[in-house]
Amino acid sequence: MIDWFQAFALAILQGLTEFLPISSSAHLVIPSLVLGWPDQGLAFDVAVHVGTLSAVLLYYRADLARMAGSWFGSLAGRPGNEDSRLVWYLALATIPAVLVGFLAGDFIESELRTLPVIATTTLLFGLLLGLADRRAVPGPAGRPVTLASALLVGLAQAIAPVPGVSRSGITITAALLLGMNRQAAARFSFLLSIPVITGAGTLKLWQLVNEDTSVDWAVLAVGALVSGAVAYLCIALFLRLLDRVGLMPFVYYRVLLAAVLYGLWLA
């Protein structure tokens, strides 16, 4: 069982890394390896998922309300528009990740959560992010989201469960390579996180309900609140600075992080 300080620190770490393209799994492995912290546990995982999901829902609340209205309107017979089509694109783009999680989730969890794997994926997909950023369309220009591009981004997201890849990193990379500008790529990536985080959190909650374990509700509340607040601030700051600084700072950081992880592995 983690203590209060560990819960606070891990919640901050989860909130920071959930939406930034730097891989949460690469960071969450370090406290246990370097500091000997215990596993945070399934209940805490559920709490921080609730927190980060709340953050993205709150940030995009106006967009989501408009999209929902347009989508339900299209079901009622009104003409579809960009918002209603985007709902279908997000749903279809989520399918590959669901299939991979169902078919290979246990294998990934048991066999791929190792330092050499995390270090290598952190490095390789960080370099790929850098390549995509170099080719990014500047300013407001760029291709709109289409059914084909949504499905391709969804296929890229399917490898995100591999530790070190980064869900936001690989989806933004794919979107940029498909011709979206940085803001559109990040927006689609963050909206696409909603069904993924909801599904992962629901599955973990189902597992928790079926486990006979004690729960410290105060620690869970702190985890949810802190991770949610930090994730909201990260989304807002990331989108505000994205066009100004680009993604290369995150690429350099991933290369440095990979070096640290390789060092921990060799040590």
- The domain segmentation of the chain, as residue ranges, is 4-266
State the pLDDT at residue 112.
87
Residue numbers of the chain with a pLDDT score lower than 50? none
Those residues whose C-beta lies under 8 Å from the C-beta of residue 116, and which sit 6 or more positions away, are: 262, 265
Q: What pTM was estimated for this model as a whole?
A: 0.93
How confident is the model over 66-95, as pLDDT tens digits?
999 999 999 998 888 999 999 999 999 999
Confidence (pLDDT) at 21: 96
The pLDDT, as a whole number, for residue 34 is: 76
Tens of pLDDT, residue by residue over 199-213, are 888 887 787 777 766
Q: What is the pLDDT of residues 222-236, one digit of tens each?
A: 999 999 999 999 999
SS3 7: helix
4, 179, 185, 246, 265 from 140: Cα distances, Å: 44, 12, 11, 14, 43
DSSP 112: S
pLDDT of residue 241: 94
What is the chain's alpha carbon radius of gyration, rounded to the nearest angstrom? Answer: 18
